[in-house]
């Protein structure tokens, strides 16, 4: 995955499927410079100077005159997909930035049926991968949040992230449009969130996520696009877990604002590479829109929100206890099975992988 030279956000290439492209056919015999200039003119003709955009779109202006069209979405919403498509087609952006990081980029190229199956299926492999990637506490919290997503998926029959896949598809139809991943890496978010919670808060949060069973309708999801309802929900969340809101929402507001401002910089126009203001479309959850608006003109320091504190002594003790229990259980199983069977069991790739993960780190 290539990284933009002047930005810390990630870039993803557009769709390679020709059927997804609506770029014009170029006449034969054109030089590269002539083809670029022609495509630039085609995009300029398509771009609407005063577009009629959905009410979920907020327009922000950068100091150099670059424009950001920020589309606030609900992550399980068909109408959000339409809002994204309408906006990109109308403004023909230079850059599209979405609320994803490199750890979640796979959802852009999966089909809906595969995503539905993946979202509903939380198996042992996913648990092991989450713990290996994020640590025990953060990994288990990620699994609990995946359970919430699976619950919504099952209730609605709809895979999450449809608006991001729509943005990816539409960006591939715009000449010269770049596609950037604008969110903070999810392991950093989870580790900072867990570190900010007390043991009692972690237990309360895990309990609430484990026993989430309230029915959810598509109408409930669409209500999430109403700012007043969303602000009310956020206020309730702040009262319940203020530290969690700070790390999962407020800090990511800062990070998203940073990556959006990095994208909203002048671009070079052919044929003479003249600098012109950029047009950017940002696709984020509606809950992040107020924070991005507040941070847009502020001085930001993202290094403060990228650091991860070392694990607490309690966390280290918990990990040691879990490892000891698992090793003891495996050893007892080998003892009961007998030497030959035990050696055969230890040669199984899955068991070897578990033992590798349980091995204490070298000093």
Q: Which tens digit of pLDDT belongs to each residue from 325-355?
A: 656 665 665 555 555 545 554 554 545 555 5
Q: What is the 3-state secondary structure (H, E, C) of 169-197?
A: HHHCCCCCCEEEECCCCHHHHHHHHHHHC
Render pLDDT for 220-257 as a digit per residue (tens, 0 to 9): 666 666 654 445 555 555 556 788 788 888 999 999 99
Which segments of 103-213 are extended strands (E)? 178-181
Cα dist from 269 to 178, 272, 281, whole Å: 14, 7, 18
Residues 6+ apart with CB under 8 A from 134: 142, 187, 190, 191
Taking the C-alpha atoms of residue 166 and residue 89, their distance in angstroms, rounded to an integer, is 11
Secondary structure tally for the chain: helices H, strands E: 16, 8
Render pLDDT for 201-219 as a digit per residue (tens, 0 to 9): 777 766 765 655 556 566 6
Cross-strand pairs, 280 = 68, 95
The H or E element that residue 70 is part of is: strand 67-73
Of 105, 94, 104, nearest to 262 by C-alpha is: 94
Burial of 8 (0-12, 13-18, 19+ CB in 10 A): middle
pTM of the full structure: 0.73
Tell me if 94 sits within 8 A of 267, measured CB to CB. yes
């Amino acid at each position: 995955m290539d990284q933009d030279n002047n930005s810390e956000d990630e870039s993803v290439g557009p769709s390679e499927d020709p059927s997804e492209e609506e770029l014009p056919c170029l006449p034969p015999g054109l030089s590269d410079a002539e083809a670029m200039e022609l495509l630039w003119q085609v995009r300029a003709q398509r771009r609407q100077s005063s577009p009629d955009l959905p009410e979920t779109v907020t327009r922000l202006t950068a100091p150099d005159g670059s424009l950001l069209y920020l589309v606030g979405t609900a992550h399980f919403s068909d109408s959000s997909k339409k809002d994204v498509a309408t906006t990109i087609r109308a403004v023909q952006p230079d850059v599209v930035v979405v609320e994803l990081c490199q750890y979640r980029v796979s959802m852009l190229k999966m089909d809906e049926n595969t995503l539905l199956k993946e979202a509903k299926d939380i198996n042992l492999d996913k648990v092991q991968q989450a713990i290996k990637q994020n640590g025990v506490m953060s990994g288990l919290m990620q699994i609990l949040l995946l359970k919430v997503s699976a619950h919504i998926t099952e209730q609605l029959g709809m895979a999450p992230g449809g608006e991001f896949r729509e943005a990816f598809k539409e960006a591939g139809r715009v000449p010269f449009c770049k596609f950037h991943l604008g969110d903070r890496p999810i392991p950093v978010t989870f580790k900072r969130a867990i570190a900010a919670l007390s043991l009692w808060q972690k237990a309360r949060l895990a309990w609430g996520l484990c026993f989430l069973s309230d029915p959810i309708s598509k109408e409930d999801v669409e209500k999430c696009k109403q700012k007043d309802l969303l602000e009310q929900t956020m206020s309730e969340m702040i009262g319940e877990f203020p530290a969690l809101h700070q790390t999962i929402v407020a800090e990511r507001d800062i990070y998203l604002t940073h990556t959006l401002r990095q994208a909203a910089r002048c671009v070079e126009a052919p044929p003479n590479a003249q600098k012109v203001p950029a047009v950017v479309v940002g696709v984020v959850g509606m809950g992040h829109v107020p924070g991005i608006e507040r941070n847009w003109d502020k001085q930001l320091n993202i290094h403060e929100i990228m650091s991860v504190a070392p694990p607490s002594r309690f966390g280290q003790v918990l990990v040691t206890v879990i490892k000891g229990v698992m090793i003891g259980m495996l050893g007892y199983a080998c003892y009961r099975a007998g030497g030959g069977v035990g050696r055969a069991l230890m040669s199984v790739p899955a068991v070897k992988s578990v033992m590798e993960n349980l091995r204490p780190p070298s000093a």
